[in-house]
Structure 1
């Protein structure tokens, strides 16, 4: 801070101080203008009583100027209140100069001295010094011109007293600026709250002069009840305080009641927000922390507690992961046991070794398909690669593999066309066919007299697969539960579920999913 001009070296601090001082001067100007109006009006009545035309003209002019300034400041330019008070301070000298005969100069001088001092203590220090210098010079000139009896002692006192007064107002202004600096730096604590409090919160204070709450700071205020991103922080605060209820009254009224009964410097309490008759059905009970700090300002901090909910969510996620890991371990354990059993059987039974090795291969492919799905992410299909596949040839090859592995497999595969080239995601078609055949052989009744038929045909861009077997209802239910088949249908079929008709189980597949993949990318881009 500059030692002589009493101004902050940092421009932003000086601007903040002047802005706060303008507000203070604006509130005080109304009182000063009213006091000056009364003094001038009394002088006008006095001049009118004495029929002093010059005095009436002077006081009428001063009265008109005061009224005009009052209207302009209140209606149009509140920032000019400081300069108007300086102008009023100089106008009051004219009331003291004119028509001193018949006036109690002691009372008038005392009253005007109080008015001068009040104005000089309120306005800016630099303006006060300039105004004191101007008034002192003006008064000494008036005394020298109109009063020949002015002694040297009075002149010396007229110089020393203003200097002492300047020293006093300099000290007062310095302390006032230091207090502002302390308050301004002290108020910066609320700027640190977002980095300290992870939960949504709102900080506000209560203005006793305006009888209203003043917004200060917040974080994620749109998560509070009745708040949204479409409203400003101030409007969100008003919405929350007035619409949310606590113990049968609005939170606004609840806090006002606590202000009236406050007996502690600081208080911290937890409350539960419960739905009322105006809330929607999906309103959930929420805990809030209400911190109250009664200092220079009545400050209030409301924190919407979500840490507990986050902890519960993390614990739930942890439990789900533990269960999932357990399921994977069990899946791998069962797979390894089955593989070990088949290997052991193939070593012990040389006659059926080839058949057991085919079973080992099918079991490995079956497990591989299920394990890939159980470990895939929901967005993994973005990274899948499409390739051209001879679907008919793959189907026949896998049926042949099953027939080599199991002697009782009785499947008839019919195609109405020789060309079944499709563009599907890599490796997924093989997993789909293995899961489909494995489920069909497991869930349909193995009646040696009944042959399971698989018919494949195409129309336009759709490939149709029809399965005719016994116990088709049981098979349908299990196919729709199979994760590998569900994922395959999600990416390759116009329908998410397999359907049944009088002719058997029907599956529809796209012949070319590359165009569908491009369309999905376009939709994601938009």
Structure 2
């Protein structure tokens, strides 16, 4: 009996010595071998949790520098899933099924359970020294390759959508050209659609200020869209017939094209526009039955709001019960002289 106890005690001492030597060697060697984020850990049966032996997570920007490596490991294990289960549960199941004689090395592709399209490539290992150990290495080179592939796929998808849109547009224009021989409205409709598509894909180069007759400019677009869509737009000018403003003319054209396009889609018999000259602004007051619908449509169009912000004091419409107001600068050359409270 005494011999048995002595043998068992000696075995425990040998295991403790072997583990200490191994552990010290790993602390020196592993960081020298790995430039990628890694975690070397085991499962603590007493606390039923994974415990870090060695890690460099805190040295990398994708991990929280204010948390210990233990917390970063826990967050990683719970953030990503594989085979329909969290990485934490996956490794926990391996604790009970691992064969101590086997060395397991795998490359795993994980998914963020909250953002399925976000993937993580890791090198995963299981091995037994004096206890079952686990190793996770985040393969940053593979992450870069995966990220580039995803960007290429998004770009290819975007190009396909763009080409499909252009094909549909050109086909629609071809149909309108064929109809225009019999239907004069189709010719003007083709012109307005072409103008609108150009505003969507054009990059504004001319941002210089120039003089523009606001009355004749608005009249031109009203007459064009009336011919194209058989809509009635009444316009009243509460100013001189030849009234000039100083603005970005190309931006103003794009704004009016988008506005008239949305007005033509309201399918209303009567639309009224009044134009007032204020001290520093020109107000385009639009009366229509579909005030809310028009406001929502224009507010959703970020490009429209960007243009409006450049040639007017607001990027939003001024909404009343009976109308919406588009406010534009009367003279952009005098912006520095205007009261800052009027510009806010």
Q: 2:136 aligned to 285, 302, 327, which one?
A: 302
Q: 1:440 aligned to 254, 263, 266, which one?
A: 263
Q: In structure 2, how many angstroms separate the alpha carbons of the residues matched to 1:499 and 1:356?
A: 34
2:319 matched to which residue of 1?
A: 500
2:212 matched to which residue of 1?
A: 390
Q: CA, structure 1 residues 335+244, in 2 after alignment: closer, same or farther (shift >3 Å)?
A: closer
Q: CA, structure 1 residues 319+344, in 2 after alignment: closer, same or farther (shift >3 Å)?
A: same
Offset, 1:237: 3.0
> 1:201 aligned to 2:20?
no
**TM-score relative to the length of structure 2:** 0.57
Q: In structure 1, how many angstroms separate the alpha carbons of the residues matched to 2:38 and 2:335?
A: 48
1:467 matched to which residue of 2?
A: 286
Offset, 1:368: 1.3
Q: In structure 2, how many angstroms separate the alpha carbons of the residues matched to 1:470 and 1:283?
A: 42
1:477 matched to which residue of 2?
A: 296
Q: In structure 2, how many angstroms separate the alpha carbons of the residues matched to 1:395 and 1:274?
A: 52
Asked if the contact 2:295/2:319 (under 8 Å) is kept, the reply is yes
1:369 matched to which residue of 2?
A: 199
Q: Which has the higher strand share?
A: 2
2:153 matched to which residue of 1?
A: 318
Offset, 1:445: 1.4
Q: In structure 1, how many angstroms separate the alpha carbons of the residues matched to 2:77 and 2:192?
A: 64
Offset, 1:433: 0.5
SS in 2 for 1:302: strand
Q: In structure 2, how many angstroms separate the alpha carbons of the residues matched to 1:415 and 1:301?
A: 77
> 1:221 aligned to 2:60?
yes
> 1:344 aligned to 2:178?
yes
CA deviation vs aligned residue, 1:312-344 (integer Å, no higher than 9, x gap): 99559736852x444433432333233323333
Taking the TM superposition and a 5 Å limit, the aligned residue runs for 1:113-512 are 190-191=31-32, 193-194=34-35, 197=36, 200-202=37-39, 221-224=60-63, 228-229=64-65, 236-237=68-69, 239-240=71-72, 263=100, 267-268=104-105, 291=125, 301-304=135-138, 311=146, 315=150, 318=153, 321-322=156-157, 324-346=158-180, 348-349=181-182, 357-372=187-202, 385-390=207-212, 392=214, 393-403=216-226, 409-416=232-239, 419-424=243-248, 427-446=250-269, 450=270, 452-482=271-301, 484-510=303-329, 512=332
2:10 matched to which residue of 1?
A: none
1:24 matched to which residue of 2?
A: none
Taking the TM superposition and a 5 Å limit, the aligned residue runs for 1:87-126 are none
**TM-score relative to the length of structure 1:** 0.40
Q: In structure 2, how many angstroms separate the alpha carbons of the residues matched to 1:428 and 1:458?
A: 19
Q: CA RMSD in A?
A: 5.3
Higher relative contact order (Cα pairs below 8 Å, separated by 6+ residues)? 2
Q: Which has the higher helix share?
A: 1
Q: In structure 2, how many angstroms separate the alpha carbons of the residues matched to 1:241 and 1:342?
A: 62
Number of residue pairs matched?
280
Taking the TM superposition and a 5 Å limit, the aligned residue runs for 1:53-68 are none
2:84 matched to which residue of 1?
A: none
Which runs of 5 or more structure 1 residues have no equivalent in the other structure? 1-182, 206-211, 276-281, 517-526
Q: In structure 2, how many angstroms separate the alpha carbons of the residues matched to 1:262 and 1:384?
A: 71
CA deviation vs aligned residue, 1:371-428 (integer Å, no higher than 9, x gap): 44xxx7xxxx8x773433526142233234335556654432424366452433x633
Q: CA, structure 1 residues 402+318, in 2 after alignment: closer, same or farther (shift >3 Å)?
A: same
